[in-house]
Every structure is written in C-alpha cells, then in structure tokens.
C-alpha cells in the first residue's frame, strides 16, 4: 500500500512522494483531447478496405461504383498511390545481409496478410465511408499462405516474398560453449512457444492529417511523434520542416504505437491529394487485425549444469516470426532479448542464434518488454526444470547461480555490465511476504491427499535491461537512431516553470514525475511546474517513450537542464547581492550569500532576468536551458516474483491464489506511479500466461478479431497483488533510478507458468504451452491430444 500525497518521514523533497497524478482529474472527467475528438472544418473520413486473403495477387481493381455512393468524395486503391507512397520504414537492419522487402503502405500487386490495406474510401462521414467499401471490386488470385515458421524455412515451402522466407540470422557467442556442454552432468533442453499477442491499448489508433497548402500537420495516437516526423518526412518526401506531428492525449500503447503505420502515411498522402483534412480511427476489430502484433517466437533453450546445479553454459536457438514485412524495429525485438537469456546468473559460455522468418501474418514488433519477456521466460522456466531434474528447491538452484550483491558491478556472459543489484534482499523479502515454507507444506499435504485441486508455486527472479539506450550500443547493433533524450526548462517571468520534454507520455504520468523532479531541483512548488510534450512544434527534439526509458534517460536530461538553469540563476543572484557566485548557496529555492541572511528567491531572479535591467556583464537575459542526455549504460531493474496457483485437475482451470512482487527499481520518484506500473505490468504478463493468444486458421484468417475471442483479463480475473520494493540505487545515473514500465510484464509470465507446471509435476507434466487455458491444462493432465476432427494442435 502506498499512502498518497504525504512525504515519507524524514524527507522534505518532492522526489519520493506518492503524489496523485496531475493528469488524472482532466483524464477522468473527459476533458481530454484524443485524436478522434479532433473536428476540423471540412474534415473528411477515411475507411480502409482490407485484404480478406492471407496471400494473393491483385488481378483487378474497380473502384468506380464506390465513387458513386452517397457522401463519397474519393476512392483510391494502391495503384493510385504507387508512385508516391514509398515503403514503410524498418530502422533496424540487424545484419548486413538482412532482407528488407518493399512494404507499400497500400498493397499494389500482392497482399501478404489478412487486413493489409488495399483501397480506401474518403467520405463526408465515417458511416458513409464504411458503407461504400462494399462497392469496391477487387479480384484476387490466391497464393499459398505461409503460416508455420519451421515449415517456412524448409526447402520447397511457399514464399512470402520472392527472396525466400529467411529475413536474417543473427548470432552471438561468448566462451567455450561446446566445452560447457561436453560431458555436462546435466543438460536441460526445452522448446517453448511464445505465442503471438495483440498489444491492446485502451485508445485505438487514430490519425488526423491536414494541410494549409504549404505544410502538413499530423495528429496521431502515437508514442513517437519525433521519430514519426523524421520517418514520415523520409517516406513521403514532405520536407521535415514542413511537417508537424502532434501526439495529443494518447491512451496507452505498450509498444503498439511505436510504429510508422500505413494509415499515418496514407492519411498524409490523401490530404495532400485532396487538400482537405482527413480523419481515420480504427475499430477494435480492425486494430486486432492490423496493430502490429507482439512476441511469436519458437525458443529452444539448452542449459548445461554441474550436478550441484551450477550453470556451465546456455545455448539459445530462436525462430522469430516477423510476419509479412519488417516494420520499424521488427527484427531488433528478439535481439533485445539476446542479452537477457543469462538472466541474473553466472556462467562461462553462451551461444545465441536468432533467425527471423517471414510469414503471411500481420508483422510483429515491439510489445511491452520487447524481447526481454521472452528471454526471461525461457531462462526462468529452464531454471525450474533444472531444479526438478536435480531434485532441488527451485530457489536454491537460483541462489547457487545468481550474481551476489558483493560482486556488482558485474559483466555478464552476454557482455552487459550490471551496475547494481541485490537479489538476496529482494528474494528474502519476497519469501517472507509470500509465506514460502507454509505454502510448500500445504502443497505436500494436497499431493498426499490427492486433492483434486493442486497447489503450485512459481518463481521468477528476473532482471532486465531497459532505459533504452546508450547510442553507441544502439549503433553497434545497427539501430538507425540514437538513444538520448532531451529536455528544456524555462523559468517564466512570474517564477513558474515550463518544462519541455522529448519523452512523449501516453499514460505514464510524466507531468507529475517531471514536476516532482523540477520542484526539488529548482526549489519551486510542485504546482508551479507545467510540462509540454508530444508536439514537434513546441518540443523540437526527442526520442519519445518506449523501453522504460523516460525517467532513466529523459529524467536525467531534465535534471541536467535544471542544473544549468540553477547555475544561471546563481550568476544573477550573485550579481544582485553583490557577491561572488562561489559564495552563493542554493537551498529550497533560495540563493543566499554564505554566512549572511542576504538572499533572493529563484522567483525574484526569474523576474529580474525577464526585466534584464541589471544583469551580469555579458549575461543573456534568459533563465532557461536545454540538455540532451545520452546514457552510458542501460538500467537493470530486478526483483523476485512469487506466484501460488490452484489448479483444478478436474476442469484444468487455474486460479491465482497469491502473488508477491518485490521489485528493485532503484530510487523512486513517485511510489504511486511505480505501483501502478507494477500492477499493470503483472496483469499483462499474467494475461500472456493464462489468457491471450492470437489465432490464425489454416488459411491465414485471423480468428481473434474481437474481445470475445481474444481474451483480456479484467480486475475480476486477477488476484490482489502484494507488492513491495527494495531500493538499490542505480550507479549509472545521477538520480539512481531504473526503469519500471516493463518489469512487471517481464517478471510475471514465467512465475505463473512455473507455478502451474509445479502443481502438475506429480502427474508427469513438464510443460504447458501458453496461454495455459483450462483445456490445455486438462489435455496435459490426461495426455489427451485432440483428434483431427476436433481441430489442430492445442
């Protein structure tokens, strides 16, 4: 429990206070500006016709009938844009020989997944636009779909693109892997399926494009207004300085809005063609089809260990489903996991191979955690399997392998330097809160009684790399941009503060956290700080929000900008008080000449700087500053999550009985926001373990187009989370902070699945594929594969 709006005992600062979010009163009372709320004079509405086939050649397009429908202003097919639409960008060519197929925003000759845009209607209202889609005639010549990654790589398989289905193979190796596995007393070899997921943001995607005949403005429900501007300029040929991108209020993203979408490009092209503003808002079903999907990997992991459980080495061989095209960071996502398969453990050898595979499905890309949840799942599941193989307690196996607190900073086998961590402390706290020994006793009792409801205990001792990212590291991984972040701090004449951040929030609470940081750094009231973001006209520079980077990168830029403002103010204060700047101290917003009572408030200095009547010689009359921070290292939050499940062996149903999360995210700026991130993160990780799965049928049709088919858990389906924190400050940044946006999602999935497998181990069950639905658990228990008549693989 976090007590709100009260200062922790013994501190005076804003940082660390559980401030209620400044944003929320406006958000919960509907005084928001979502992209879909925007109404412009003369605005038209766009509806897209989408491919009903997974793979086909387009042989005929006739839009003439649709043009005659009521309210229709224009109808275009891919052929109308072929000369100007360019190719949607992939900014992460992970290898030199990677295949990056041309990706037209609107299909011209061939469609490669169900849902790919093939035509569009622009009409006076949304309903008429949707109605007229029925009148567009398109003939297709069906081609073979490509749906299974393993099959896709076999000789003679149908191909998504002429060049074949292999996009790239990326390798990384360290140490003597062969030696580690040769004669190893224990080898655990498992294959895990990371099912495909849909990042379901509360707000659907929406785009409004307009032009004044000279420049263009694009409103989009995006996480990345700055990156989007650059990429759209490159894609459409609209000069960057003639394109303004605005992310107004944005209702969640989870990575799905870290994208340059076909609809964004096409809305710009349509408005350029017609000279009128246009709006497109997706429906939920359209979103399920065409929001980029997440995960979808086939993971083979092998762990070689000594007979006492100490790990010798780990081998990982991944197939990663790219879908039909490579989008903004599609190929890089599995590689963000490449460095995390070692988890928190020490070993001498590591070998990683990832092959990206094309299929005729919606492209995959970043989804909360992006690569790290997959890696963490595999190593944490493998640790439980290793413990079972050796007859050891799964926590004991982890203890024998993890990096001890005294060993930090520690360079892992994957080449990362973990700056800080205290796995012992987080684990001890979690075990105590959980009642680990009591639950093990109850488990033994239920096993003895053959209780139809079995108890299982799952562990996840995770870490992750976030705070993306040091630019030099991104460069070494062939990423197309840097990982810095920008901030500007402006003291206004009346002493209020305006902050401009390049980190574009979509639900994270930046305005509150940034206000707390500025309040402490400049000694101004929390209420006196406002934060501007998400508009490339007012926030000219930024790398946006993803990868748990806002605080540990953008927050540091903010601190540095505040320091610059403070030093300028010190110059003015010293001048006003006729003292040397070296003799002027700054405390709680006041500059005081050391050893005297002479002082000036920062607000007085702001006004004096504005008036500029009497400033130090050569001093520019401005009390503002910018800073761009490029981190030296990632941040490495960690923690111990423990999950107890009850599995009903008669129905296969899993109920989470208790869930304890002890996370170490370093210094905390706002405990309430951190707790919100942890809760939401755990929920999303549990959702992968138990509920969510994208299903395509044998023809490549998406079956999970609605929320009746694609199950999202609600609060009713989730347990009360017991959360706590240990605090081991990061040494890699001056605030001591680490990212928290993805940690819960990364940690929770393996904790839940480990618990289910733990419950069922006496029945001979060694794995249950995610999501662990009641039916899958039941079949695992009864070794009951469905017959051909009953359907494909479970």
Partner 1 sequence: MIPASFDYSRPSSLEEALAVLGDAGEEAKVLAGGQSLLPLLRLRLAYPTTLIDIGRVAELRGIADHGDHVFIGAMTTHHEVVRSPVVNEHCPLVALATATVADRAVRHRGTFGGSLAHADPAGDLPSVALALDMDLVVRSSSGERVIPAADFFVDYLEPALEPGEILVGARVPKLGPGWGFHYEKFHRTAQAWATVGVAAAVRRSNGTVAEARIALTNMGPTPIRAVAVEAAVRGAAADRNGALREAAEQAAEGTDPPGDLHARPDYRAHLSRVLTHRALLAACAV
Residue numbers at the binding site for partner 1 (CB under 8 A): 47, 126-127, 130-131, 283-286, 650-651, 653, 691, 695, 703-704, 706, 708-709, 711-714, 716-717, 773-775, 778-779, 784, 786-787, 790-791
Q: How far is the CB of 712 from partner 1 (least distance, A)?
A: 8
Beta partners for 409? none
Q: How far is the CB of 744 from partner 1 (least distance, A)?
A: 19
Distance between CA atoms of residues 666 and 763, nearest Å: 41
SS3 of 320-335: EEEECCCCCCHHHHHH
Q: Which CB sits closer to partner 1, 12 or 712?
A: 712
Q: How far is the CB of 656 from partner 1 (least distance, A)?
A: 13
> Dihedral sign, CA of 736, 395, 683, 354?
positive
354 in Cβ contact with 320 (< 8 Å): yes
H-run or E-run covering 500: strand 497-501
Distances (CA, A) of 103 to 110, 245, 356, 533, 602: 11, 22, 17, 30, 54
Q: How far is the CB of 208 from partner 1 (least distance, A)?
A: 18
User: What are the phi and psi torsion angles at 141 (to 5°)?
Assistant: -110, 110
Q: Would strands 44-50 and 278-281 be described as parallel, antiparallel, or unpaired?
A: parallel
Q: How far is the CB of 283 from partner 1 (least distance, A)?
A: 3
According to DSSP, residue 787 is labeled P
Q: Structure tokens of 582? A: 């070296």
Q: Which CB sits closer to partner 1, 21 or 128?
A: 128
CA angle 577/583/589 to nearest 5° reads 70
Q: Which CB sits closer to partner 1, 405 or 784?
A: 784
Q: How far is the CB of 648 from partner 1 (least distance, A)?
A: 9
Q: How far is the CB of 165 from partner 1 (least distance, A)?
A: 27
Q: Report helix, strand or coil for 591.
A: strand
Q: Which CB sits closer to partner 1, 306 or 650?
A: 650
Q: Structure tokens of 441? A: 């006793």
Q: How far is the CB of 90 from partner 1 (least distance, A)?
A: 30
Q: Which CB sits closer to partner 1, 607 or 711?
A: 711
Q: Which CB sits closer to partner 1, 8 or 70?
A: 70
Burial of 400 (C-beta count, 10 Å sphere; 0-12/13-18/19+): middle
Q: Which CB sits closer to partner 1, 205 or 312?
A: 205
Distance between CA atoms of residues 32 and 28, nearest Å: 9
**How is the beta sheet containing 72-77 ordered, strand by strand?**
72-77, 117-123, 44-50, 278-281, 206-211, 216-220, 243-246
Q: How far is the CB of 40 from partner 1 (least distance, A)?
A: 20
Which residues contact residue 120 at a Cβ distance below 8 angstroms, ignoring those fewer than 6 apart? 46, 47, 48, 49, 75, 76, 106, 266, 270
Q: Which CB sits closer to partner 1, 440 or 679?
A: 679
Beta partners for 500? 488, 532
Q: How far is the CB of 324 from partner 1 (least distance, A)?
A: 23
Q: Which segments of 665-777 are extended strands (E)? A: 721-725
Q: How far is the CB of 285 from partner 1 (least distance, A)?
A: 6
Q: Would strands 216-220 and 243-246 be described as parallel, antiparallel, or unpaired?
A: parallel
Helices 436-449 and 423-434, packing angle to 10 deg: 50
Q: Which CB sits closer to partner 1, 74 or 133?
A: 133
Q: Which CB sits closer to partner 1, 612 or 712?
A: 712
Residue with tokens 């870490």: 463
Q: How far is the CB of 787 from partner 1 (least distance, A)?
A: 8
User: What are the phi and psi torsion angles at 364 (to 5°)?
Assistant: -95, 165
Beta partners for 489? 499, 625
SS3 of 167-183: EEEEEEEECCHHHHHCC
> Dihedral sign, CA of 269, 270, 271, 275?
positive
Q: How far is the CB of 80 from partner 1 (least distance, A)?
A: 23
Q: How far is the CB of 739 from partner 1 (least distance, A)?
A: 29
Q: Which CB sits closer to partner 1, 503 or 704?
A: 704
Which residues contact residue 173 at a Cβ distance below 8 angstroms, ignoring those fewer than 6 apart? 350, 351, 352
Q: Which CB sits closer to partner 1, 618 or 791?
A: 791
Q: How far is the CB of 451 from partner 1 (least distance, A)?
A: 14
> Dihedral sign, CA of 73, 79, 80, 85?
positive
Q: Which CB sits closer to partner 1, 183 or 790?
A: 790
CA angle 629/630/633 to nearest 5° reads 130
Q: Which CB sits closer to partner 1, 174 or 283?
A: 283
Q: How far is the CB of 786 from partner 1 (least distance, A)?
A: 5
108 in Cβ contact with 83 (< 8 Å): no
Q: Report helix, strand or coil for 103.
A: coil
Q: Which CB sits closer to partner 1, 708 or 720?
A: 708
Q: Which CB sits closer to partner 1, 272 or 779?
A: 779
Q: Which CB sits closer to partner 1, 26 or 776?
A: 776
**How is the beta sheet containing 624-629 ordered, strand by strand?**
529-532, 497-501, 485-491, 624-629
How many CA atoms, within 13 angstroms, populate the side-chain half-sphere of residue 749? 32
User: What are the phi and psi torsion angles at 7 (to 5°)?
Assistant: -80, 135
Q: How far is the CB of 756 from partner 1 (least distance, A)?
A: 15
Q: How far is the CB of 789 from partner 1 (least distance, A)?
A: 9
Q: Which CB sits closer to partner 1, 153 or 711?
A: 711
261 in Cβ contact with 228 (< 8 Å): no
295 in Cβ contact with 688 (< 8 Å): yes
Distance between CA atoms of residues 377 and 439, nearest Å: 23
Q: Left (φ > 0), alpha (ψ -120 to 50) or beta: where does 371 sit?
A: left
According to DSSP, residue 292 is labeled P
């Amino acid at each position: 429990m976090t007590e709100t709006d009260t200062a922790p005992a013994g501190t005076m600062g804003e940082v660390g206070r559980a401030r209620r979010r400044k944003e929320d009163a406006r958000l919960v009372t509907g005084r928001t500006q979502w992209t879909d709320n925007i109404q412009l004079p003369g605005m038209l509405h766009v509806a897209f016709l989408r491919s009903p086939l997974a793979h086909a050649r387009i042989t005929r397009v006739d839009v003439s009938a649709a043009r005659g429908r009521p309210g229709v202003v224009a109808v275009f097919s891919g052929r109308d844009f072929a000369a100007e639409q360019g190719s949607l960008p992939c900014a992460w060519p992970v290898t030199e020989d990677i295949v990056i197929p041309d990706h037209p925003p609107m299909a011209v000759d061939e469609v490669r997944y169900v849902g790919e845009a093939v035509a569009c209607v622009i009409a006076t209202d949304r309903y008429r636009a949707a109605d007229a889609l029925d009148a567009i005639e398109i003939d297709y010549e069906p081609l073979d779909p490509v749906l299974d990654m393993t099959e896709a790589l076999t000789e003679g398989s149908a191909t998504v693109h002429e060049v074949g289905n292999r996009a790239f193979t990326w390798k990384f190796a360290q140490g003597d892997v062969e030696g580690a596995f040769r004669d190893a007393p224990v080898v655990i070899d498992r294959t895990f399926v990371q099912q495909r997921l849909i990042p379901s943001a509360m707000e659907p995607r929406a785009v409004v494009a307009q032009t004044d005949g000279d420049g263009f403005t694009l409103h989009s429900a995006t996480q990345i207004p700055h990156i989007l501007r650059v990429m759209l300029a490159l894609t459409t040929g609209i000069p960057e300085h003639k394109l303004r991108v605005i992310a107004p209020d944005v209702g969640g993203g989870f990575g799905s809005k870290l994208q340059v979408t076909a609809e964004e490009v096409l809305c710009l092209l349509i408005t350029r063609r017609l000279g009128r503003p246009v709006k497109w808002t997706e429906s939920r079903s359209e979103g399920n089809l065409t929001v980029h999907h997440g995960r979808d990997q086939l993971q083979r992991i092998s762990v070689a260990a000594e007979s006492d459980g100490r790990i010798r080495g780990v081998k990982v061989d991944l197939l990663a489903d790219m879908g039909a095209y490579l989008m903004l960071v599609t190929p890089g996502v599995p590689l963000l996991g490449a460095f995390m398969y070692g988890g928190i453990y020490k070993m001498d050898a590591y070998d990683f191979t990832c092959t990206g595979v094309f299929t005729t499905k919606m492209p995959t890309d970043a989804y909360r955690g992006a690569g790290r949840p997959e890696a963490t799942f595999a190593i944490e599941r493998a640790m439980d399997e290793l413990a079972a193989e050796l007859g050891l307690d799964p926590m004991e196996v982890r203890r024998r392998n993890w990096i001890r607190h005294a060993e930090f900073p520690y360079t892992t086998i994957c080449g990362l330097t973990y700056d800080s961590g205290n796995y012992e402390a987080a684990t001890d706290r979690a075990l105590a809160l959980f009642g680990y020994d009591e639950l093990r006793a109850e488990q033994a009792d239920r096993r003895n009684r053959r209780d139809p409801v079995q108890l299982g205990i799952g562990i996840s001792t995770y870490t992750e790399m976030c705070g993306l990212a040091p630019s030099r590291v991104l460069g070494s991984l062939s990423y197309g941009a840097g990982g810095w972040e920008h901030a500007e701090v402006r003291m206004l004449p009346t002493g209020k503060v305006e902050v401009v951040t390049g980190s574009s929030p979509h639900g994270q609470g930046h305005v509150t956290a940034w206000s707390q940081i500025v309040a402490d750094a400049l000694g101004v009231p929390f209420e006196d700080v406002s934060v501007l973001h998400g508009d490339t006209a007012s926030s000219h520079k930024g790398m946006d929000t993803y990868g748990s980077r806002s605080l540990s990168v953008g927050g540091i830029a903010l601190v540095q900008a505040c320091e610059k403002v403070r030093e300028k103010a010190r110059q003015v204060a010293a001048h006003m008080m006729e003292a040397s700047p070296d003799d002027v101290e700054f405390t709680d917003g006041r500059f005081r000449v050391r050893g005297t009572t002479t002082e000036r408030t920062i607000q007085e200095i702001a006004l004096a700087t504005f008036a500029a009547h009497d400033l130090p010689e050569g001093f520019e009359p401005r009390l503002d500053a910018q800073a761009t921070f490029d981190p030296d290292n990632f941040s490495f939050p960690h923690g111990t999550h423990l999950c107890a499940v009850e599995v009903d062996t008669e129905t296969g149903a899993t109920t989470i009985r208790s869930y304890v999360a002890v996370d170490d995210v370093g210094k905390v700026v706002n405990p309430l926001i951190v707790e919100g991130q942890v809760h939401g993160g755990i929920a999303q990780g549990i959702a992968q373990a138990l509920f969510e799965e994208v299903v395509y049928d044998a023809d490549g049709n998406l079956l999970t187009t609605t929320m009746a088919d694609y199950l999202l858990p609600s609060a009713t389906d989730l347990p009360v989370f017991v959360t706590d924190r240990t605090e081991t400050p990061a040494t890699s940044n001056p605030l001591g902070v680490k990212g928290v946006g993805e940690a819960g999602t990364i940690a929770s999935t393996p904790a839940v699945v480990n618990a289910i497998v733990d419950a069922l181990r006496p029945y001979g069950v060694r794995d249950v594929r995610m999501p662990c639905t009641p039916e899958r658990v039941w079949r695992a228990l009864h070794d009951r594969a469905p017959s051909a008549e009953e359907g494909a693989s479970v």
